[in-house]
Structure 1
Amino acid sequence: MSARADKETRTSSAMENRSANRNSVPNLNPETDSVGPPSALTYLDPHYWDERFSSEEHYEWFKDYSHFQHLIKSNIYTSSSVLELGCGNSQLCEELYKDGIVDITCIDLSSVAVEKMQTRLLSKGYKEIKVMQADMLDLPFSSDCFDVVIEKGTMDVLFVDAGDPWNPRQETVSKVMATLDGVHRVLKPDGIFISITFGQPHFRRPLFKDPKFTWSMEYNTFGDGFHYFFYILRKGKRCNDEKEDEKCKDSSISLYQDELEGEDYLFRTRFDDDED
């Protein structure tokens, strides 16, 4: 069997077998009985998210908090001020709150997501968590105001039409750099940016390590048999020494997963479309 045929077989099998979150995700493609949109490109349409959030109560991208809680606790203090990019209907901010981190600001481009998140948090008594509508490409905050900025799968949306992952389209690069520029600006001088993503180091490193940024880069992985990446970018800690990334050696990573969860496969199969 060719690599292409094998890939298509695995993807088809994963789509047929996944059942997690089927009750909470709207069936937006009834012809294929898919829990997600017919194409990953749909994620770029703001109207899709408003429609989805209007009926979906909760969906967790890239594993739930328990899988990377140990990494959060190693990098975020309870006194930290935290900005979450693209909160959607994730429970990430609630889990951070339960761990004692109360100075949290969540943003999302969708007004529907923001309104529903505000209602949900208030109903649970999490009054300290702030939620507002904002675009991560143009953050409406003053410079040096957050200890931590965190995103979980939000930036991955920017890459769904990137084309060749080794040489992404300029439009994609421009959007990613606008996001990173804003994150770098709003972080305090010793702040950190945490990015939880599918993106492998050899694709993310050229963007994260652009000369304009002063942050260092390290990462961890989590997941069973299939790796998600937990990047930590520490502002003001960048070194000119090539040994800076010794803790970040690329590992041998499987591009497939026997049981892809929910919609995560859409990001991965989009990525695989550019491979033989």
Structure 2
Amino acid sequence: MDYMPDDNSRYKDVDYWDERYKTEQCYDWLGDFSNFQHLLEKHVKKEDRILILGCGNSSMSGDMYSAGYCSIANIDYSSVCISTMTARYSNCPGMTWHQMDVRQLCFPSMCFDVILEKATLDAIMVDEKSPWEVSPQTACFIHQALTEISRCLKTGGRFVSITFAQPFFRKRLYARAEYNWSIKQYSYGEGFEYFVYVMTKGEQLSPEDAVLEKKLLEQEMSNDNKTPTTRTDTAEKEDQEDFLSNIDL
């Protein structure tokens, strides 16, 4: 069965996911756990309390559990997904499943050692016409999610983000002093490169990332003071490129 939607905007529609999860057994965006296990093992301890955002029907949680990570909470906004995965892993004590919005995490502050997402934030950005500039609506959505992630992390905890987005694009979202974390980046994959960002709470941004944040804030202030201009035909054509299509390569 073909689960690809006619329009990428449907990736933000919970009804699309509910219908998809009724029949689809498993799908792993950006590869399965074995592809990046060597990177996670450097930053995630077996005894860590872990939260996985937008778990979907991926095998990642189950694979991590089999590898010895025994405290894993999973959230997704699809009730169908959560019901299915709860039943599938009912014999795994220490693994829990919750229907929840990433922008409003119903967990106490500073309760997780690791919060992990794989392509969840990519899916949130499906309405964007170009990776060069995020719309105010999506920027607000991402900021709400990252604020909640930082709140739920313990001091010294790590937010691990696995994505197809290159550092030039993704670090523009992550490099904010208010999240109270540092950023390190890694990559994996053959033929097509994917990226792993590890944000450690309680550490300052590197001088390079602090400069990036300052530059972006100055650009925002400058844009706020500008009169809107008409986009060129070339820019509009570039915006029509489907930069999300690389997610499942």
1:246-272 residue CA offsets vs partner (Å, 9 max, x unmatched): xxxxxxxxxxxxxxxxxxxxxxx6218
**1:240, CA displacement in angstroms?**
5.3
Q: Distance in 1 between matches of 2:16 and 2:144?
A: 23
Give the aligned partner of residue 167 of structure 2.
Answer: 201
Q: Distance in 2 between matches of 1:112 and 1:99?
A: 26
Check conservation: 2:126, 2:244, Cα contact below 8 A.
no
Give the aligned partner of residue 137 of structure 1.
Answer: 103
Q: Aligned residues: percent identity? A: 37
Unaligned runs of 5+ in 2: 212-240
Give the aligned partner of residue 40 of structure 2.
Answer: 72
**Does residue 117 of structure 2 align to residue 151 of structure 1?**
yes
Check conservation: 1:195, 1:231, Cα contact below 8 A.
yes
Check conservation: 1:151, 1:195, Cα contact below 8 A.
yes
Q: Distance in 2 between matches of 1:176 and 1:130?
A: 24
Check conservation: 2:112, 2:154, Cα contact below 8 A.
yes
**1:59, CA displacement in angstroms?**
0.7
Q: How does 1:31-180 map to 2 (within 5 A)?
A: 35-122=3-90, 125-180=91-146
SS at match of 1:37: coil
Q: Distance in 1 between matches of 2:57 and 2:97?
A: 11
Q: Distance in 2 between matches of 1:183 and 1:270?
A: 28
- Alignment partner for residue 270 of structure 1, among 237, 242, 248? 242
Distance 1:243-1:85 versus aligned 2 partners, 3 A rule: closer
Distance 1:60-1:240 versus aligned 2 partners, 3 A rule: closer
**1:110, CA displacement in angstroms?**
0.4
RMSD: 1.8
Give the aligned partner of residue 238 of structure 1.
Answer: 204
Q: Distance in 1 between matches of 2:210 and 2:140?
A: 26
Please say which of residues 236-245 and 164-173 is displaced more in the overlay.
236-245
- How many residue pairs match? The answer is 216
Give the letter for the 1:38 counterpart: D
**1:239, CA displacement in angstroms?**
4.0
Give the letter for the 2:47 counterpart: S
SS at match of 1:112: helix
Q: TM-score, normalised by structure 1?
A: 0.75
Check conservation: 1:83, 1:150, Cα contact below 8 A.
yes
Give the letter for the 1:92 counterpart: M
Q: TM-score, normalised by structure 2?
A: 0.83
Give the letter for the 2:32 counterpart: D
Q: Distance in 2 between matches of 1:243 and 1:119?
A: 43
SS at match of 1:212: helix
Check conservation: 1:216, 1:244, Cα contact below 8 A.
no
